[in-house]
A and B are shown apart, each in its own frame.
Chain A
Amino acid sequence: MRHILIIGATSAIAEVTARRFARDGDRLYLVARNPERLESVASDLRLCGATQVETMVMDVNGTDRHVEMIAQAETVMGGLDTVLIAHGTLSNQQACEASFKETLRELQTNCLSVISLLTHVANCFETKKRGTIAVISSVAGDRGRKSNYVYGTAKAAVSVFLQGLRNRLYRSGVNVITIKAGFVDTPMTADFCKGFLWASSEKVGNGIYRSIQRKRDEVYLPWFWRWIMLVIRLLPEGVFKKTNI
Chain B
Amino acid sequence: MGDGIDCRWTPLARHLMKDYVSWGRYPKAIPAAVHRVHWTDELLPNTTCSLLPYGNGRSYGDSCLNDGGVLLDMRDLNRMLSFDRSTGVLRCEAGVLLADILVLAVPMGWFLPVTPGTRFVTVGGAIANDVHGKNHHRTGTFGQHVLGMALRRSDRGIVLCSATENTELFHATIGGLGLTGVILWAEIRLRPIANHAVDSETIRFPNLDAFFDLSSESDRDYEYTVAWVDCLARGNALGRGLFMRGSHAAPQERLPAPSGRTRSFPVDMPFPLVNAWSLRAFNNLYYRKQLARVHRSITHYKSFFFPLDNILHWNRLYGRRGFLQYQCVVSPESAKESVRALLEAIATARSGSFLSVLKVFGNRFSPGLLSFPRPGVTLALDFPNQGRRTLDLLDQLDRIVASAGGAVYPAKDARMSGEHFLQYFPRWKEFQRHIDPRFSSSFWRRITTRI
Q: CA separation between A185 and B75, bound complex, in Å?
A: 13
- Checking A40, A92, A194 against B93 with a beta-carbon cut-off of 8 angstroms, the contacting residue is A40
A62 within 8 A of B: no
Query: Chain A residues with Cβ under 8 A from B285's Cβ?
Result: none
Query: Chain A residues with Cβ under 8 A from B292's Cβ?
Result: none
Smallest CB gap from B90: residue in A: A47
Q: Would you give 22 A-B contacts (Cβ < 8 Å), ordered by A?
A: A12-B38, A12-B76, A34-B41, A36-B40, A37-B39, A40-B39, A40-B40, A40-B81, A40-B93, A43-B79, A43-B82, A44-B80, A47-B80, A47-B82, A47-B83, A48-B80, A92-B1, A190-B36, A191-B2, A193-B12, A193-B13, A194-B16
Q: How many residues of B contact A (CB 8 A)?
A: 19
Query: Chain A residues with Cβ under 8 A from B12's Cβ?
Result: 193
A41 within 8 A of B: yes
**B124 → chain A closest CB, angstroms:** 16
A236 within 8 A of B: no
Query: Chain A residues with Cβ under 8 A from B1's Cβ?
Result: 92, 191
Query: Chain B residues with Cβ under 8 A from A41's Cβ?
Result: 79
**B104 → chain A closest CB, angstroms:** 6
A187 within 8 A of B: yes
**A55 → chain B closest CB, angstroms:** 14
Report yes or no: A44 in contact with B81, Cβ–Cβ below 8 A: yes
Smallest CB gap from A40: residue in B: B79
Report yes or no: B83 in contact with A37, Cβ–Cβ below 8 A: no
Interface string of A32-52 (1 = CB under 8 A from B): 001011001101100110000
Q: CA separation between A47 and B84, bound complex, in Å?
A: 10
The tally of CB-CB contacts under 8 A between chains A and B is 39
Q: CA separation between A104 and B81, bound complex, in Å?
A: 38
Q: CA separation between A194 and B40, bound complex, in Å?
A: 24
Smallest CB gap from A194: residue in B: B16
Q: Which residues of B (32-67) have their CB < 8 Å from a CB of A?
A: 35-36, 38-41
Q: Name B residues whose Cβ lies closer than 8 Å to a Cβ of A.
A: 1-2, 12-13, 16, 35-36, 38-41, 76, 79-83, 93, 104
**A152 → chain B closest CB, angstroms:** 18
Query: Chain A residues with Cβ under 8 A from B16's Cβ?
Result: 193-195
Smallest CB gap from A193: residue in B: B12
Smallest CB gap from A94: residue in B: B1
The list of the 6 closest CB pairs from A to B, nearest first, reads: A44-B79, A191-B1, A47-B80, A44-B80, A187-B38, A43-B81
Q: CA separation between A41 and B82, bound complex, in Å?
A: 11
**B120 → chain A closest CB, angstroms:** 15
Q: CA separation between A194 and B104, bound complex, in Å?
A: 33
Q: CA separation between A41 and B80, bound complex, in Å?
A: 8
**A185 → chain B closest CB, angstroms:** 8
Query: Chain B residues with Cβ under 8 A from A47's Cβ?
Result: 80, 82-83, 104
Smallest CB gap from A90: residue in B: B1
Q: CA separation between A34 and B40, bound complex, in Å?
A: 12
Q: Which residues of A (160-208) have their CB < 8 Å from a CB of B?
A: 185, 187, 190-191, 193-195
